[in-house]
Amino acid sequence: MTIFKIKTIEGYITFWLSLFGLPFLVLIFLLLWHLNLSGWHIALVTSLTAFGGIMAIVSFRSKVVLGFSRALLHLEAVRMEDYKHYAKPIFSQGIVGKFCRQLRDFSEHLSIKKLRYDQHVFLVYQLIDQLDTPILVFNQKNQLTYANSAFSILYDQPWQRYRQASPKLLGLIKQENGWQLQHTNQQKNQQWQISQSTFIDAGVAHQLLVFTNIESALRTSQFKAWQQIISVMSHEIRNSLTPVSTIAESLSVRTELARDKEALLLISERCDHLQDFLNRYTSLSQQINLNYQKIPVALLANRLKGLFTNIELEVAVTAELIWADKSILEQVLINLIKNAHEAGAHNVVLDFSEDNSKTTIKVIDDGHGFANLENLFVPLFSTKQDGQGIGLSFCRNIIEQHQGSITLDNNRIQGVTVAIILPLKSS
């Protein structure tokens, strides 16, 4: 049947109205014929009736279709995430009115969900900015659209300089087991693990790459292990030192023999020395409240030169300010310069430079260097005969609390270069 071939509502309305209008037109024709009107009058009246019927069909069909057309415009607005555009119903009551009301309610529901989702995406970007590990965002075209300030740790440049860059340009290669980063010279001492996730922003799928420094995580785990060892050792040794020291002081008061007094005094002094030793090691595990301030580099350099008049200390300054805790950073540099002097250095170069968002401090000496670089930052390890293995561990702890890094390398010919990298406050 013809009806089953009709696939549009416009055709459906036209077909049925025409089907029911045709008998009416025939009836009009027969009625005029029965009245014995002339052929011209019959043709005129029949034509006018047919024209009126056609106009009625077109008007009826247009009004029905208009309701759907407005609904389509509303849906198109929803698809474009424009939730302020509403379709005005042709019929405010009945099934058509109900359909338009539900469409409007659905649009408002999506608007609320969109608002919540936008807030979630905003929080995601805020979280990305707060984290100190590199995070990169790529769009569906594999173009870099966003990254946090830690991006400079990987590429030594602000991320804006690599905007729209491809993963390949950034040295990122996707393999079966995930993303891999091709290391550069600046990254030779860091091993990065890359985690991947996706999120939707403005209807577009984005890829999130989170970089985790495995070496840093391992070092943190090792450091916590050393903290636990030192804590246990301190507890046990203090439990023994306290009664020994008390007994030695008590006996030294009672005895009158000079030799005994001397022996007991030595015992008491060694107990105090061990107590001080434990206190210094315990300080390695403490979190320091840093008092950040802008430190004029020239002033800091002149102060260090004044402290080491017995060393040939050369200062090179191409940076203006350092964002750090002045007294603690100064202590770190004093320790490093002192280590250089104790390593037989005759000349020490203190170099301050600034590049983009970081400040680099280098302490370069011409001493004898180190045979074992791997263990230098391990607590309790020392290359000095009377060393306690605190100095470099203290330095690294302080620098990392500044969100910076410290490395130590033997020079090609002679001596050691200690490089400290600190983030520079942007404002």
**Residue 254 domain-assigned (yes or no):** yes
> Which of 235, 257, 285 is the endpoint of a domain?
285
**Residue 245 domain-assigned (yes or no):** yes
**Residue 38 domain-assigned (yes or no):** yes
Closest CA to 326 of 277, 366, 291: 291
**Residue 118 domain-assigned (yes or no):** no
Choose the weakest-confidence range: 10-24, 57-71, 230-244.
Answer: 230-244
Could you say which DSSP state residue 89 is in? P
Query: Is 107 strand, coil or helix?
Result: helix
Round the average pLDDT of the chain to a whole number and report it: 77
- Same domain? For 399 and 303 the reply is yes
- Same domain? For 222 and 187 the reply is no
Tell me what pLDDT residue 353 has.
Answer: 92
Range of the domain at 233: 217-285
State mean pLDDT over 370-390: 49
pTM of the model: 0.46
> Which of 239, 255, 285 is the endpoint of a domain?
285
Closest CA to 113 of 83, 139, 87: 83
Tell me what pLDDT residue 392 has.
Answer: 75
Residue 281 has pLDDT above 80, yes or no: no
pLDDT tens digits for range 182-210: 755 444 445 778 888 887 777 778 888 88
Query: Which tokens is 257 given?
Result: 């023999």
- Same domain? For 21 and 78 the reply is yes
Residue 385 has pLDDT above 50, yes or no: no
- Same domain? For 320 and 362 the reply is yes
- Same domain? For 170 and 192 the reply is yes
Q: Are 182 and 163 in contact (CB under 8 A)?
A: no
- Same domain? For 149 and 174 the reply is yes
pLDDT bin (cut points 50, 70, 90) of residue 284 is low
**Residue 99 domain-assigned (yes or no):** yes
Choose the weakest-confidence range: 88-97, 169-178, 415-424.
Answer: 88-97
**Residue 343 domain-assigned (yes or no):** yes
pLDDT tens digits for range 316-350: 988 888 989 888 888 888 888 888 888 888 889 99
Tell me what pLDDT residue 427 has.
Answer: 42
Tell me what pLDDT residue 187 has.
Answer: 45
- Same domain? For 297 and 377 the reply is yes
Tell me what pLDDT residue 204 has.
Answer: 78
Domain tally for the chain? Answer: 4
**Residue 8 domain-assigned (yes or no):** yes
Tell me what pLDDT residue 352 has.
Answer: 93
Closest CA to 208 of 118, 147, 117, 152: 147
pLDDT bin (cut points 50, 70, 90) of residue 273 is low
- Same domain? For 277 and 307 the reply is no
- Same domain? For 365 and 275 the reply is no
**Residue 91 domain-assigned (yes or no):** yes
The CATH number of the domain holding residue 186 is 3.30.450.20
Q: Which of the listed ranges 5-14, 65-74, 215-224 does the model predict with the highest average pLDDT?
A: 65-74
The CATH number of the domain holding residue 358 is 3.30.565.10
- Same domain? For 305 and 382 the reply is yes
- Same domain? For 24 and 89 the reply is yes
- Same domain? For 268 and 345 the reply is no
Distance CA 385, CA 195 (A): 45
State mean pLDDT over 33-38: 76
